[in-house]
């Protein structure tokens, strides 16, 4: 009896000791991964695109062996942590981002689509010093909140925390500059020739915008660009619509009364498509409509349909490029891989930013040699990589410092949508050339829509 | 000058155009509000998820059109039937269980249903989050002065009128309609007169839901939609039935038109900023002057 008892106790002790030893050696602990929080509103087409693009990039990186982390002496795989902000509205983002940081201990955040959502969602990242590569939110305030007046509700007095924010996205200034110069250089010339306008006549531009920070930003920045660059454009109307509006005839009637040559629509995918359709089909405003790059999404093309023929889309990645060869090989590869992986879905604009951002994060971690967030942040600041899916002014991906804090130098372009063979097809009409692209980038010259009516002289 | 030649001039003014679109856009809300009015009037049931039935109707019509290849205007019937069945299930297995208990129970059930429907729709249609029912009449319109009225919008007005006429005939000329009216006035007395209240309630909810389904199908033909569209129409529908008077179909029609006009004209005059505020301010003014609404009747 005593011998048996002693034997049992001995065995138990050995087993427990072995268990403790194995536990110390992390045998039972899950393998360490790099946790990247992907901030995406999964109830929106933009958010779904961000999520898919991130998954594609992560799978590619993991399949190639993962990310080398010098301090650990090994490659780690990336684990995607979906930070679902539902509709990415202002009230929907801070909670999921906070949980990703505190509960799931993400190493880095990537994503964010809307300005309003990102301005709220970035606050926990700032407070917790988590590097955040923002791939949406065209309002540059997301990296400049410290430069606001102290009594501004968006002001943040935390320069160090703000230094963890990186904006891998075109800003309102970037794309509104392209739009304004396209109108001044090309559209005005065509209209003057076609309708025999005097050269001194300014192009009449109406801005129809969402009544939120983003829309008001487009309104104000466009006016500044026109003034600063002394462009021959007159803003004849600034008309807003409620963010929860479902019909737009009333603001369109106001726009029509201003007799514009062109209407710059600062909205998201669904509302821009509806604005253009109601403008043309209901209100009889047969103008030239310009949609912004967030509409570079297959759902915009589908919603717009034939009504959108000859209308304008400002963009930074032509995922539905019409040509025998892709303007950038990388873009072609990305689109083909995306479509192959996700049942033929065509990628959108925000996904492209996110895809690049994942690779930027990989590069930063490898350069930092550690997952320490401050070191990764410093490495992000020193990013210097060849351009990827988004064309850059100097063909390199770098983040600025100083007053243009942590922003990139993207190049955007203008597409004209043509209804052909039962679908809307985009063709680049401006500018003629682009950095890093051989020969002509422009595919055709701009011409007004078939039923186009210019504004009154 | 002939009257007909003055019409283009009249419609040329921006304000008149805003009025016209207010009437046109109000039609879908009239249908939704009438269904809600029916349910509230007969059953005294507050269903905050009524707008979700509109959303479901839109998605059902979309599926019927794109998968079954039905003409979108025939898919309205599919939508009405499907949402009516959903309405029957909701009445029998959800609302009936709390009938007679605290009013809050009904309210919380309907609030919960909002999230259930919205999340279910998101789950089912996440791949096509923002869509529109393809119409064979897209791009076709009739010029009216400086504006155009699309064939789809004209047809939607006609369909709303047909449905409302059908509803009036149902409530005025049929036994079940009589039972519904009796129940709405005094449910206890109706029961004593031998009316099967449960059947009346189930039928009423089914009809109300069918109207929401029809509104949803028309909404989806004219506008793009997604799983979250239900909330705002619900609020507008409640505002309309309160404005027009509980239990009054003419009230819902007039209320819907007034609401649509107020919304659109304000949107035109104030660039959209005060659209919703003014429309609800109108509601408050009417209630202050006439607490039962424009055509309201005192009931139980």
Distant-in-sequence, close-in-space partners of A130: CB < 8 Å, separation ≥ 6? A101, A106, A107, A108, A109, A124, A164, A373
pLDDT greater than 90 at residue A89: no
If you average pLDDT over residues A29-33, what whole number do you get?
Answer: 74
Provide the 10 A C-beta neighbour count for residue A17.
10
CA of A9: how far to CAs of A4, A12, A14, in Å?
9, 5, 9
Predicted confidence at residue B23, as pLDDT, reads 85
Q: Which of A185, A219, A192, A344 is nearest to A292 (CA)?
A: A219
Provide the 10 A C-beta neighbour count for residue B298.
8
Q: CB B131 to CB A240 under 8 A?
A: no
Domains, chain A: 34-170+332-389 (3.40.50.2300), 172-315+412-430 (3.40.50.2300)
Q: Chain B interface, mutation test: which of A253, A258, A285, A449, most B Cβ atoms within 10 Å? A: A253
Predicted confidence at residue B4, as pLDDT, reads 45
pLDDT greater than 70 at residue A302: yes
B53 and B216 in contact (C-beta within 8 Å)?
Answer: yes
Q: CB B18 to CB A269 under 8 A?
A: no
A451 and B141 in contact (C-beta within 8 Å)?
Answer: no
pTM given for the model: 0.86
pLDDT greater than 70 at residue A404: no
Q: Which of B164, B207, B214 is nearest to B39 (CA)?
A: B207
Listing DSSP states for B232-282 in one string gives: HHHHHHHHHHHHH-TT-HHHHHHHHHHHHHHHHHHHHHTTTTTHHHHHHHH
**Contacting residues of A for B264, CB less than 8 Å apart:** 247, 249-250
**For residue A203, which phi and psi values (nearest 5 degrees)?**
-70, 135
If you average pLDDT over residues A128-157, what whole number do you get?
Answer: 90
What percent of chain A is modeled with pLDDT above 70? 97
> What's the pLDDT tens digit per position in A352-388?
999 999 999 999 999 999 999 999 999 999 999 999 9
Predicted confidence at residue A3, as pLDDT, reads 85
Is the model more confident about A403 or about A441? A441
Q: Which of A262, A249, A260, A257 is nearest to A289 (CA)?
A: A262
The closest CB to that of A284, out of B122, B148, B232, belongs to B148
Cross-strand bridge partners of residue A79: A35
Predicted confidence at residue B2, as pLDDT, reads 45
Predicted confidence at residue B297, as pLDDT, reads 58
Distant-in-sequence, close-in-space partners of B40: CB < 8 Å, separation ≥ 6? B46, B47, B241, B246, B247
Tell me the nearest-neighbour CA distance from A46 into chain B, angstroms: 10
Listing DSSP states for B86-121 in one string gives: HHHHHIIIIIHHHTTS-HHHHHHHHHHHHHHHHHHH
Reported ipTM exceeds the 0.85 cut: no
Predicted confidence at residue A146, as pLDDT, reads 86
Query: Is the minimum CB–CB distance between A48 and chain B shorter than 8 Å?
Result: yes
* DSSP E strand stretches across A186-299: 203-210, 233-241, 262-266, 288-291
pLDDT greater than 50 at residue A291: yes
Q: Which of A34, A102, A55, A58 is nearest to A368 (CA)?
A: A34
Predicted confidence at residue B206, as pLDDT, reads 96
Q: Chain A interface, mutation test: which of B129, B131, B266, most A Cβ atoms within 10 Å? A: B129
Cα separation, A52 vs B127, whole angstroms: 12
Segment-wise mean pLDDT, segments of 10 residues, chain B, 300 residues: 49 78 86 91 89 95 91 95 96 89 88 92 76 87 80 92 93 90 84 86 95 95 88 86 81 87 84 71 79 63
> What's the pLDDT tens digit per position in A134-143?
999 988 889 9
Predicted confidence at residue B3, as pLDDT, reads 45
**Collapsed DSSP state (helix, strand, coil) of residue A222:** helix
What percent of chain A is modeled with pLDDT above 90? 76
Q: CB B223 to CB A48 under 8 A?
A: no
> What's the pLDDT tens digit per position in A155-211?
888 989 999 999 999 999 999 999 999 999 999 999 999 999 999 999 999 999 999
Predicted confidence at residue B15, as pLDDT, reads 85
Predicted confidence at residue A188, as pLDDT, reads 97
> What's the pLDDT tens digit per position in A434-447?
988 988 999 999 99
Predicted confidence at residue A25, as pLDDT, reads 54
Predicted confidence at residue B10, as pLDDT, reads 52
Query: Is the minimum CB–CB distance between A337 and chain B shorter than 8 Å?
Result: no
Predicted confidence at residue A395, as pLDDT, reads 94
Predicted confidence at residue A26, as pLDDT, reads 52
């Amino acid at each position: 009896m005593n011998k048996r008892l002693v034997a049992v106790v001995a065995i138990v002790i050995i087993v427990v000791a072995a268990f403790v030893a194995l536990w110390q050696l992390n045998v039972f602990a899950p393998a360490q991964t790099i946790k990247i929080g992907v901030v995406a509103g999964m109830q929106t087409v933009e958010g779904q695109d961000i999520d898919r693009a991130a998954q594609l990039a992560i799978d590619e990186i993991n399949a190639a062996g993962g990310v080398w982390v010098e301090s650990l002496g090994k490659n780690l795989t990336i684990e995607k942590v979906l930070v679902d902000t539902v509709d990415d509205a202002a009230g929907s983002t801070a909670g999921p981002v906070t949980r990703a940081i505190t509960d799931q201990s993400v190493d880095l955040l990537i994503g964010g689509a809307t300005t309003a959502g990102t301005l709220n969602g970035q606050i926990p990242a700032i407070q917790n010093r988590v590097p955040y590569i923002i791939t949406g939110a065209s309002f540059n305030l997301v990296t400049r909140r410290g430069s606001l007046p102290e009594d501004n509700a968006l002001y943040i007095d935390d320069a160090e925390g703000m230094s963890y924010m990186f904006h891998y996205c075109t800003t309102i200034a970037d794309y509104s500059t392209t739009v304004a110069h396209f109108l001044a250089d090309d559209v005005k010339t065509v209209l003057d020739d076609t309708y025999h306008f005097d050269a001194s006549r300014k192009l009449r531009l109406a801005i129809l915008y969402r009544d939120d920070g983003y829309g008001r930003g487009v309104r104000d920045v466009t006016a500044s660009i026109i003034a600063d660059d002394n462009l021959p454009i007159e803003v004849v109307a600034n008309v807003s619509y409620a963010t929860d509006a479902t019909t737009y005839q009333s603001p369109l009637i106001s726009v029509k009364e201003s007799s514009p040559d062109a209407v710059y629509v600062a909205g998201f995918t669904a509302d821009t498509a509806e604005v253009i359709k109601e403008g043309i089909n209901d209100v009889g405003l047969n103008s030239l409509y310009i949609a912004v790059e967030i509409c570079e999404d297959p759902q915009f093309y589908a919603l717009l349909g034939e009504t959108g023929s000859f209308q304008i889309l400002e963009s930074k990645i032509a995922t539905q490029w019409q040509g025998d060869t892709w303007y950038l090989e990388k873009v072609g590869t990305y689109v083909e891989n995306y479509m192959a992986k996700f049942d033929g879905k065509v990628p959108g604009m925000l996904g492209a930013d996110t895809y690049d951002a994942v690779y930027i994060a990989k590069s930063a971690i490898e350069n930092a040699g550690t997952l320490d967030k401050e070191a990764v942040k410093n490495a992000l600041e020193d990013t210097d990589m060849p351009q990827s899916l988004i064309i850059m002014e100097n063909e390199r991906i770098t983040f600025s410092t100083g007053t243009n804090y942590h922003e990139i130098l993207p190049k955007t372009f203008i597409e004209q949508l043509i209804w052909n063979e039962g679908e809307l097809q985009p063709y680049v009409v401006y500018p003629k050339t682009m950095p890093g692209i051989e020969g002509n980038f422009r595919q055709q010259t701009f011409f007004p829509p078939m039923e186009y009516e210019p504004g009154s002289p | 000058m002939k009257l007909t030649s003055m019409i283009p001039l009249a419609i040329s003014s921006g304000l008149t155009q805003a009025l016209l679109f207010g009437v046109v856009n109000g039609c879908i809300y009239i249908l939704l509000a009438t269904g809600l009015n029916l349910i509230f009037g007969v059953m005294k049931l507050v269903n905050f998820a009524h707008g979700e039935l509109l959303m479901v109707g839109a998605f059902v019509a979309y599926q019927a059109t794109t998968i079954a290849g039905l003409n979108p205007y025939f898919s309205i019937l599919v939508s009405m039937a499907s949402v009516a069945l959903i309405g029957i299930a909701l009445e029998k297995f959800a609302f009936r269980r709390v009938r007679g208990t605290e009013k809050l129970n009904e309210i919380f059930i309907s609030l919960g249903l909002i999230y259930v429907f919205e999340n279910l729709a998101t789950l089912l249609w996440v791949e096509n989050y923002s869509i529109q029912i393809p119409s064979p009449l897209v791009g076709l319109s009739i010029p009216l002065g400086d504006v155009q009225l699309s064939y789809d919008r004209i047809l939607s007005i006609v369909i709303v009128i047909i449905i409302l006429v059908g509803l009036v005939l149902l409530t005025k000329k049929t036994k079940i309609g009589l039972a519904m009216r009796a129940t709405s006035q005094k449910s206890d007395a109706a029961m004593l007169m031998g009316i099967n209240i449960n059947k009346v309630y189930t039928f009423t909810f089914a009809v109300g839901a069918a109207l929401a389904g029809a509104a949803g199908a028309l909404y989806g033909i004219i506008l793009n939609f997604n799983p979250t569209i239900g909330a705002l129409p619900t609020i507008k529908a409640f505002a309309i039935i309160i404005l027009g008077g509980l239990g009054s179909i003419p009230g819902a029609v007039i209320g819907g038109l007034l609401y649509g006009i107020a919304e659109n004209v304000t949107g035109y005059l104030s660039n959209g900023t005060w659209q919703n505020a003014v429309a609800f301010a109108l509601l408050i003014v009417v209630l202050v002057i006439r607490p039962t609404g424009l055509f309201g009747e005192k009931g139980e």
